[in-house]
Amino acid sequence: MLSARYYIKMSQLRHLPALGRHFSLTKTSFENHSCKVLVVGGGTGGCAVTAKLSRKLKKTDLIVLEPSEEHYYQPLFTLIGAGIENIETARKSERACLTKNCTWLKDQAAEFDLNRNIVKTVQGHQIEYDYLIVSTGIIPRYEKIPGLLDALKDRSSGVCSIYLPKYVENVYPTMQRLNSGNAIFTFPNSPVKCPGAPQKICYLTEDYLRRENKRSKVNVIYNTSLPVIFGVKKYADALWKVCKSRNIAVNTRTNLVSIDPVKKEAVFENLDKPEVKTILPYSMLHVTPPMSTDESISNNKELTNSAGFVEVNKTSLQHVRFPNVFAIGDCSSSPNSKTAAAAAAQVEVVFENLQAVINGQKPLATYDGYASCPLVTGYDKCILAEFDYDLNPLETFPFSQDKERLSMYLLKKNIIPAIYWSLMMNGLWNGPAMFRKIMHLGRDK
């Protein structure tokens, strides 16, 4: 084992024997590294773009900076919360998801020096890069709501959340214990990953209560900070009909500000009249917490915009001030819905445009803001919402997708996860654009 006092460039490591499937570096081995492309974040977008780049670059030229040992397919968390799937179906090791032709540094970014092309890590490493891809996602901020963390620690409190692995498995037991009172579901006053999920778990809970003959004893309430139930009018109209037919109360511009776990009360503010506060008792309270980028991202004003997201051109996904920097997924400032489907469409754009920049060419690939949100409305039905930056429907199938369908539920439950693990993690899935053209006989849709 080499001592930490030895400083070795990554370009020299190609002469060393490979240690297992991945050459993982730790603080006790090396302190300085260099590479052609550094991918910060080994989530959905990070793994996918790394797989693509690994076919063009040597292992020593491609570093992935990711601290987690486990990788989760988070779109399944709603179904896990409803008792349909279990956590094992959504979890694989990070090692299994990353291509073997990259260098995985199991560490986390602490500081970005964009002028010197250096990232410093929590463990004290320093990584010099030629090109940088940021794909760190966004983080649930449960601590921002007073009383929430204490409530979540008590698994019998009635408070639950699908947004982290350590909390999601308590959602279904909370549903099972629900017999009367208010079941409240919240959407925060911040960007969130999978913005359809807060109401998906609401619909699934309502359907569960109906199937268990307990629905008449429970008031189901969806409180959202947004001014609409959904951003795309076509699907919003369909969802309003679902709520009306199933007696789900929807309150817009209503934001959760605190919880009293002892009294089992939630305090909400009216975002149009902040002085107006409403206190609601709950038997079940599903909380979608505020979310933001990691402090290493949000605190770097050269890297981000005023909201703390990596500031990129929304079509090229190239940084507006540093042309050798790109971003993928939830941490990006691109104003698309933050979903795995959006990341899939972005990966090919970043890959093509990065290749162009490396070759001294103008980046020409464009991202149209495509996002998909399979809005599960029950245990056997789903509305498949697909749309672009302008919130226009961008539907793959040759029928109107604003209807609840069993086929779309099965697509969400069985087919899309298989595509994710088998194709996207291997850099082979760029979203359904090609299939959309085939389905619509080559016409734009």
Which of 159, 200, 187 minimizes the C-alpha distance to 252? 187
As a whole number of angstroms, the distance between CA 231 and CA 335 comes to 12
Which sign, positive or negative, has the C-alpha torsion 402, 182, 339, 190? Answer: positive
Pick the catalytic residue from 35, 102, 160, 373.
373
Which amino acid makes up residue 245?
S
Please, what is the end-to-end C-alpha distance for the chain in angstroms?
A: 58
Which of 406, 384, 405 minimizes the C-alpha distance to 395? 384
Q: Is 331 a catalytic residue?
A: no
Pick the catalytic residue from 194, 202, 331, 382.
194
As a whole number of angstroms, the distance between CA 267 and CA 157 comes to 16
Q: Is 373 a catalytic residue?
A: yes
Helices (H), ranges, 223-319: 233-245, 295-298
- Cβ pair 342, 370 in contact under 8 A: yes
Q: Is 325 helix (H, G, I), strand (E, B) or coil?
A: strand
**For the stretch 280-300, what's the b/e string if a residue is b when 16 or more beta carbons lie within 10 angstroms of its beta carbon?**
bebbbbbbbbbbbbbebbbeb
DSSP assignment string, 426-437: GT----SHHHHH
Residues annotated catalytic, as ranges: 194, 373
